[in-house]
Structure formats: C-alpha cells, structure tokens
Structure 1
Amino acid sequence: MGIFQNKKFRSAADSNTIAAKYRVKLARHPFLLFGLPFIATMVAGSFFLTPATAIRYEKYDRRVRRLSKEEELGIGKGGRKVDMKEEYYACWDTDANHDGQKLAAKDLDDWEQKRVKRLPGEHDGVI
C-alpha cells in the first residue's frame, strides 16, 4: 500500500499566478508576509478609529450633562402645585377598604382592637 504525499497537487496553470508565488514566499518568510502586515493594520486601525470613538463620547456628553443650580430649580415649573394637606387627606379618601366606608384622619383615633381567630393546631404564643 502506498503512502499519501503531504504536498497538494497544483497544476502548471496555478503555479504562475500571484497567489501561488505569494504562497511559496509565505512558507519561507511567514512573519514578514503575514504577521507584519497584520500588526500594521491593527495599529493603523487604532489610530483611525480613535477620532470616531471620541466623537461618540462627545455626543453622549452633550446629551447627559450636569445641571447648574438655576437650571435644576427651573425644571419643574410646568408641573402642578402640591399641597401637603391635600395629598395627605386624598390618600385617606380612597375606596380601598373592602366594606365601602371612606376613611378620614379622625377615624385613626376611633378604632377597636379585635382578636383574629387562629387556625386549629396553632398556638397563641403563650408558653
């Protein structure tokens, strides 16, 4: 049984092309013909992409910037006026309770403590 050769068959027509000549020279000088152009491309790309990255961050900085105290105080001028008493009583005047009664601030003083029935087998916490 014969042994297969490591070399690939290349026809005579393929041996005269630029790619074939480059392939032969690449086998002799791999760093010079592959590594050096690759490193040069990476370094050049870094220099060319630096301004593009700077533009990106400058655009972000224009959008998000610190506000001065005057600007900060003027932000909410278009909103409604807030009255703390009105907000406090509005939260108690909701229909949130289940039996339909409306709560008021005076109802907080008039309450009764009721004991909740326990499930069977549950102890009262008294030892």
Structure 2
Amino acid sequence: MPAFQSKTFRRATTASSTFGERLGAFYRTRLSRHPFLLFGLPFMAVIVAGSFALTPAAALRYERYDRKVQQLSQDQVFELGLKGPGGEEGIKRNPRRRIVGDEREEYYRLMAKDLDNWEQTRVKRFEGEPDGKL
C-alpha cells in the first residue's frame, strides 16, 4: 500500500453535520468566486445601516446636553448668586481675566499694535503660583 492514497478525502454528509456547517462550507466555496458579492457588499450594507441606526442615538445625546446647558436670564443669575444686584460677581473672580466689552473694539486695538517692535517679558506670577522654572 502506498504512503498516500490517491483518493482525496471528502467528509461524508451525514445526519450529524448540521445546517450551519453545510451553509459554512457552501459559503466558503462560493466566496473565492464572488468575493465582493459575498463579503464586500454585506460589509458595506452593515456600515450604512449602522450609520442610520446610530443617528437617533447621537441626536438624543445632543438633546440631553442641550437640556443641561442653558443660557440663564438676569433673574436666574441673581437668584443663583452668580452676580450681585450692582453687577459685581458673587463668586471669586480670576484677576487675570480681562473683560472685553466689544469684540470689534478689541480687534481694532490689537490691529493698532506695532508687531515689528516687541519685547518678550515674563508674566508676573501671583503669590504661591508655580512659575514654571525648574
């Protein structure tokens, strides 16, 4: 008897082979002949269907965020204690923050600066604030 038989091995289709196994074998044989139809097209269909399915979820996310973040009226600001009756802030104010009244005014103020003659200086640090030097 030769070392290798000339007959190719084929698994006998029995009652023990399930429908899933037979379907998988059928799919694998056809996949090599029609790769786009059996792999690419279903893949692209899942991507497109997923985008349609996730759109309402994303809309819900942004609607929830909009419910949380709302612009407060002057009465609500006063009730929460964010600003006093004279307009002064009730919470601790950052002294470095400069309040700009008009954006155009700030734009023209910056445009009037001479950008060719300038000198680099360090910003004065507050008491207890790290200065970034090693």
- Shorter-chain TM-score: what band? 0.3 to 0.5
Higher normalized contact order (CA 8 Å, seq sep 6+, divided by chain length) = 1
Superposition TM-score, scaled by structure 1 size? 0.48
Say which structure is richer in helix: 1
